[in-house]
Amino acid sequence: MSPLSFENTAIAFKGKDDAALRRSYWLFKLIGNPSMVRIGGTLTNFALGIGFPIGWLIKNNIFAQFCGGETVEECKAASARLAEYGIGTILDYSVEGKEKESDFDATAEEIIRTIDAAKGNPHIPFCVFKVTGVARFELLERQNEVVRGTLTQLTEKDQAEWSRVVQRVLHICQAAYDADQRIFIDAEDSWIQDAIDQLCHDMMEKFNHQAPIVYNTVQLYRHDRLEFLKKAHAWAKDKGLHYAVKLVRGAYMEKEGKRAAEMGYQNPIQPSKEATDRDFNAGVKYCLDNLQDMALCCGSHNEESSMLLAQWMDERGIVKNDNRVAFAQLFGMSDHISYNLADAGYNVVKYLPYGPIKEVMPYLLRRAQENTSVKGQTSRELGLILKERKRRGNEDY
Ligand SMILES: Cc1cc2nc3c(=O)[nH]c(=O)nc-3n(C[C@H](O)[C@H](O)[C@H](O)COP(=O)(O)OP(=O)(O)OC[C@H]3O[C@@H](n4cnc5c(N)ncnc54)[C@H](O)[C@@H]3O)c2cc1C
């Protein structure tokens, strides 16, 4: 078997015909241009706001590239296409920014629907949710202060609201446990993350005795998180639990820096990209070296980290499809990593965002506008697409 390489565009794009490849090319060209994203975003939001019928345009282009559809049912086609190439799906209900209790209940029910769809389906090995999908942000901020000890306790009203949040999270994790389905809890802003970590650890204490069911997410762009990872593992070990974790670099760097500067506290983000990379790779290695009671998902589009994890597994004699280790990327991005890893026999999954167009579009556009890593990645995607077009003998753009 030839050695693993992310340069192989024939494998990377085998799921895309010429028309799909051309669409990807133009979409990445658009995303790579900040003013186009800004103008396109404003126009799209306006058109959706006044009910202008652009749904078909979005669905056939942006959704086809980055999303599964509007419902779990609609995601089946994209999931089946990924499965053909040995890649698993994570149904990611991407609706955010809600405020009402009824919306939080509805989101919790939707997450349960993703668990039902995943149950017994080997092509959907993980589920996922964000705590901000089932809880009010301001309440999370206050609960965070309680966990940190900067606030003694919540008011009676807040306590009642918080117990409803705990019930939702419990309901979701219980459903995952009953379905024997592993579930990620995404990491978010540092000023609500202690509350999320606490919730997640409470769920691990309930459900991770026999197997890794509930996964926390650790963002290694924070300078304190490698130590956190080790402490959390020691805590779980002490309790006889499986410590399951998704490692990511972190998506909210700009926001974190801005808030820290405005409020005059130390920026929680690492001093440089190199420091983030160093801690991320050290975290990956730490998990591999403690796999007897850990499970790891490497959520990254970074070629070096993905290659290192594959190499380190091989060096340690960990079989490629060991179900304690998974690689994860986002649907429509970094296919050269996903498809080549899957082709070589590693466990690979893709987050497949879905939800009503009107709700998902603002989320996708904001991510494209805010996230420097998305901007940095577009030129790599374009280069790979052009290489594949050339290989196929189609150089008409
Ligand atoms: C499957 C999956 C799940 C994810 N889940 C989450 C989640 O739950 N929570 C979350 O926050 N993010 C999540 N992300 C996003 C992730 O955190 C990164 O933003 C994104 O993947 C880019 O990082 P990278 O590892 O792919 O590699 P790269 O593109 O190599 O790294 C870019 C990242 O490096 C860091 N960085 C860049 N410049 C600097 C700098 N100057 N100093 C310090 N650090 C820097 C930032 O984190 C930036 O996003 C997820 C990503 C994937 C693929």
Ligand 1 mean position, distance from CA 219 (Å)? 8
The whole-number pLDDT of residue 370 equals: 61
Print burial letters for 297-310: b (CB count within 10 Å at least 16), e (below 16).
bbbbbbeebbbbbb
- In sign, the C-alpha dihedral spanning 131, 363, 66, 272 is negative
* pLDDT single digits (tens) 34-78: 776 677 777 777 777 777 667 777 777 788 889 999 999 999 999
Q: Which residue has the higher pLDDT, 113 or 60?
A: 113
19-33, 157-171, 269-283, 324-338, range with the lowest pLDDT: 19-33
Q: Return d(Cα 295, Cα 211) in angstroms, integer.
A: 9
- Residue at 188 is within a domain: yes
- Residue at 321 is within a domain: yes
Ligand 1 mean position, distance from CA 371 (Å)? 9
Q: Ligand 1: which atom is nearest the Cα of residue 90? A: 1
Q: Return d(Cα 255, Cα 269) in angstroms, integer.
A: 10
In order of 173, 353, 356, the CA distances from 112 in angstroms are 9, 15, 17
User: Residue 20 is which amino acid?
Assistant: A
Ligand 1 mean position, distance from CA 249 (Å)? 4
- Residue at 49 is within a domain: no
Pocket of ligand 1 (CB under 6 A): 186-187, 217, 219, 221, 248-253, 269-270, 272-273, 276, 299-302, 328-330, 351, 373
Q: Return d(Cα 137, Cα 115) in angstroms, integer.
A: 24
Ligand 1 mean position, distance from CA 300 (Å)? 7
Ligand 1 mean position, distance from CA 276 (Å)? 9
Averaged pLDDT, 168-189 = 98
Q: Exposed, middle or buried by CB within 10 Å (0-12, 13-18, 19+), for 396?
A: exposed
CATH number at residue 284: 3.20.20.220
- Residue at 316 is within a domain: yes
Q: Ligand 1: which atom is nearest the Cα of residue 252? A: 11
Ligand 1 mean position, distance from CA 248 (Å)? 6
Q: Return d(Cα 163, Cα 63) in angstroms, integer.
A: 36
Mapped to the 3 state alphabet, what secondary structure does 192-230 carry? Answer: HHHHHHHHHHHHHHHHCCCCCCEEEEEECCECCHHHHHH
Residue 118, domain extent = 70-365
User: Residue 106 is which amino acid?
Assistant: A
The whole-number pLDDT of residue 361 equals: 82
Q: Ligand 1: which atom is nearest the Cα of residue 304? A: 30
Task: Report the relative pairing of strands 126-129 and 294-299 from DSSP bridges.
Answer: unpaired
- Residue at 133 is within a domain: yes
- Residue at 122 is within a domain: yes
- Residue at 310 is within a domain: yes
Considering only CA atoms, which residue is closest to atom 38 of ligand 1? 273
- Residue at 14 is within a domain: no
Q: Return d(Cα 215, Cα 57) in angstroms, integer.
A: 36
Q: How many domains does the chain have?
A: 1
Residue 374 in this model has a pLDDT that exceeds 90: no
Averaged pLDDT, 244-250 = 98
Considering only CA atoms, which residue is closest to atom 21 of ligand 1? 300
Task: Report the relative pairing of strands 348-354 and 243-248 from DSSP bridges.
Answer: unpaired
Please tell me which of 23-27, 247-251, 389-393 the model is most confident about, judged by mean pLDDT: 247-251
The whole-number pLDDT of residue 365 equals: 77
Q: What is the dihedral of CA 329, 29, 94, 19, to 10 degrees?
A: -80
Helix, strand, coil % in the chain, rounded to nearest 5:
60, 10, 30
Residue 363 in this model has a pLDDT that exceeds 90: no
Q: Return d(Cα 200, Cα 204) in angstroms, integer.
A: 6
